[in-house]
A and B are shown apart, each in its own frame.
Chain A
Amino acid sequence: MRTAFRRAVPYPILTVSLIVMWLLLAGFNAGHGVIAVVVALGATHALKALGEASPPIRNWVAIPKLIGIVLYDIVRSNIAVAGIILTGRAMDKQTSGFIIVPLRLRDPFPLAVLAIVLTSTPGTAWLDYNSSRGELLLHVFDLVDEAHWIDLITHRYERLLMEIFE
């Protein structure tokens, strides 16, 4: 039963997202619903040729928690970065810098999520990742305490991501 479903719908989350996107763009009615399902299934089957497996999600409960934490952090760092730009503190004093963060994550999916989270948060930018050593080069806008940032990434995000994916 489960394998039959997997064969019919290779990427369930992507399929649902495509159907919702189609309906949002074209309008909610039965006709568009049929087209949306056909397009979403066709697109995901075509994608199967790339050979990437669907991300294995172990813990669904932790996902809303992660989203909540990320939204809260983005609001907080928006305020912080806007404050720095408006007061001009970064212009005269060099407070930004590079840090190297050792990561325990190895799977491409949680790493991709971590990359999107870190880059879309103002204040941190993902620059380079070495997969054999598991090290991440990060540029931090307001680098006052290096240990604080490494602690934040490994304890706040990485642990939750490991709960979700591994």
Chain B
Amino acid sequence: MSVDLSALPVWAAIAGSVFLVLGAGLTLIGALGLARLPSFYTRLHAPTLATSWGAGGMVTGSMIIFTAAAARPVLHEILIGIFITTTTPITLMMLGRAAVYRDRSEGDARVPPALGVQEREDVQLAMPPTSEPEKT
């Protein structure tokens, strides 16, 4: 389905543009955080900017523009928004768990030991803390 965008009223163009730029700006800030932040666990927070209001803003902008141009509700995009916001927590959680598991198995002292085995803390902390290990 395609709509004629030249029939778009000015208010819809302005409102939609604000949301589009806001969403894209938040996505950019998230990517900037991904590139600049110092450790994996802090970088884990950066993409959620893109997937919460980054995607939400762009989807809202697109919905405003299409609804106004087609003169009927176009809610198609909301699926993309719902999809991004429900799947990203799952991927981030799995990645976080994988990273914790890998760091623990390498004896990285900056990561807390497994929950429920606090009494073995002395064994876990036996390795001296190292600065940013360059492992793959």
The answer to A–B direct touch (Cβ < 8 A) is yes
Binding site for B on A (CB under 8 A): 21, 24-25, 74-75, 78, 81-82, 85-86, 88, 90-91, 96, 98, 100, 115-116, 118-130, 132-133, 135, 137, 139, 141
- 8 A Cβ contacts from B19-46 to A: 26, 29-30, 32-33, 36-39, 41-42, 44-46
Complex Cα gap A25–B76 (Å): 6
Q: How far is the CA of A130 from the CA of B112 in the complex (A)?
A: 13
Inter-subunit contact A82/B49 (CB<8 Å): yes
A interface SS class: mixed
Q: How many A-B residue pairs have CB under 8 A?
A: 110
Q: Tell me what chain B mostly uses at the interface: helix, strand, loop, or mixed.
A: helix
**CB within 8 A of A120: which of B32, B51, B97?**
B51
Are A25 and B52 touching (Cβ within 8 A)? no
B89 touches A82 (CB 8 A): no
Across-interface contacts of A121 in B (CB, < 8 A): 48, 52
A125 to B96, Cβ gap below 8 A? Answer: yes
- Which residues on the A side are within 8 Å of B86 (C-beta)? 116
Contacts of B100 in A (CB 8 A): 127-128, 137
